């Protein structure tokens, strides 16, 4: 089976876009979409949200990704917390499907035909990342378990996933990834059964590959027991020891696949290392690893996991990179490193 190159999601804003304007436009755009309005008819939304998303997504596709995540320009928690807080005003943590909209996905769906014609693709393979129920619970409630609240947040995640699964002539949602960055570092004080049920409720949708992305690999053995999960995803480039936590035999026994990050994105550490070498104003070329380094990581991961390695790409987090040019070039080099083999 071919290993597909994807990305985790976050991407820098264009240099000419003010973050405050984008965040304001994001909130307005979500409400407008819920009401069935056209964003293109509002000059502020067209400039500060619609075109920003569609142009950023084009840059990802131009890098050669097999599966591209929508450009996640905003905070991964607030993006979902704002509609949850609105639901809480009605006495629930469940955002119903009508309001469970990821605005970027709908912009991409509307622009899919134009994007395909411009980039020469027959069809866009889309990846959708959604902040997971455990991460949302930690932020909203804390570490003490209230099962009903956890399960309501899981249903909210499921609703966001269901409204993001699209299949048209020019666009197919290929992957939905639940992001649980705190799992393994900070956790809800809960029994395994409750956490497992919460994830299975969140993953209660069909028609796509279902991933869970972690920053800590220590809890991957737990995830292998989650029934309706297809792919576990871990960081490897910046944390080489992470792949020692999961073996091919473990994946085969659980009938699961794996995604491994093979290019570094930890920009603060990269900048610090360059500064120690006397490079205080690095160029785009200096920020990105050599293709051969990325290729070696991919070879090692492929040798370890074989056909169980179904996705690869950069580690998590391009949002903090200094420019779209730098982020796009990292994506390009990662694609080239994999495709050269």
The DSSP output letter for 2 is: P
Kindly report, residue by residue over 198-208, the tens digit of the pLDDT: 999 999 999 99
As a whole number of angstroms, the distance between CA 312 and CA 163 comes to 25
Kindly report, residue by residue over 164-222, the tens digit of the pLDDT: 999 999 999 999 999 999 999 999 999 999 999 999 999 999 999 999 999 999 999 99
Architecture of domain 4-339: Alpha-Beta Barrel (3.20)
Burial of 90 (0-12, 13-18, 19+ CB in 10 A): exposed
As a whole number of angstroms, the distance between CA 210 and CA 174 comes to 9
Kindly report, residue by residue over 228-259, the tens digit of the pLDDT: 999 999 999 999 999 999 999 999 999 999 99
Question: Can you list the alpha helix ranges (DSSP code H) found in the chain?
Answer: 19-34, 43-45, 51-62, 78-88, 103-119, 133-140, 147-164, 192-202, 220-223, 248-254, 267-276, 284-287, 291-305, 324-339
Instruction: List phi, psi (to 5°) of 177.
Output: -115, 125
Q: Which two tokens stand for residue 259?
A: 């995604």
Task: Report the mean per-residue pLDDT for the chain.
Answer: 96
Does residue 51 carry a pLDDT above 90? Answer: yes
Q: Which two tokens stand for residue 320?
A: 């903090």
Q: Is 189 helix (H, G, I), strand (E, B) or coil?
A: strand
> CA–CA distance from 132 to each of 139, 145, 157, 182, 225 (Å)?
11, 16, 7, 10, 17
């Amino acid at each position: 089976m071919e290993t597909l190159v994807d990305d985790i999601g976050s991407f820098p804003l264009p240099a000419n876009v003010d973050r405050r304007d984008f965040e304001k436009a994001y909130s307005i755009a979500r409400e407008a979409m819920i009401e069935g309005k056209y964003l293109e008819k509002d000059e502020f939304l067209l400039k500060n949200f619609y075109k920003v998303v569609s142009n950023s997504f084009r840059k990802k596709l131009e890098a050669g990704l097999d599966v591209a995540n929508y450009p996640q320009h905003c905070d991964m928690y607030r993006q979902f917390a704002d509609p949850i807080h609105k639901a809480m005003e009605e006495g629930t943590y469940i955002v119903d499907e009508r309001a469970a909209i990821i605005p970027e996905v709908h912009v991409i769906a509307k622009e899919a035909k134009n994007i395909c014609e411009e980039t020469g693709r027959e069809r866009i393979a889309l990846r959708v990342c959604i902040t997971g129920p455990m991460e949302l619970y930690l932020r909203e409630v804390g570490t003490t378990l209230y099962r009903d609240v956890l399960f309501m947040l899981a249903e909210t995640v499921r609703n966001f996933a269901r409204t993001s699964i699209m299949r048209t002539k020019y666009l197919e949602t290929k992957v939905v990834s639940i992001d649980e960055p705190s799992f393994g570092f900070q956790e809800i004080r809960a029994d395994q059964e409750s956490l497992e049920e919460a994830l299975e409720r969140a993953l209660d949708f069909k028609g796509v590959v279902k991933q869970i992305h972690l920053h800590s690999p220590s809890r991957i053995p737990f995830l292998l027991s989650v029934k309706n999960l297809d792919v576990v995803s871990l960081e490897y480039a910046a944390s080489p020891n992470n792949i020692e936590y999961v073996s091919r035999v473990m994946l085969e026994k659980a009938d699961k696949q794996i995604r491994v990050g093979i290019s570094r994105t930890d920009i603060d550490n990269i900048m610090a290392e360059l500064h120690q070498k006397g490079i205080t104003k690095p160029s785009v070329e200096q920020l990105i690893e050599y293709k051969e380094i990325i290729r070696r990581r991919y070879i090692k991961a492929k040798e370890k996991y074989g056909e169980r390695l179904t996705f690869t790409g950069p580690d998590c987090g391009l949002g903090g990179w200094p420019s779209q040019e730098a982020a796009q070039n990292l994506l390009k080099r990662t694609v080239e490193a994999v495709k050269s083999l």
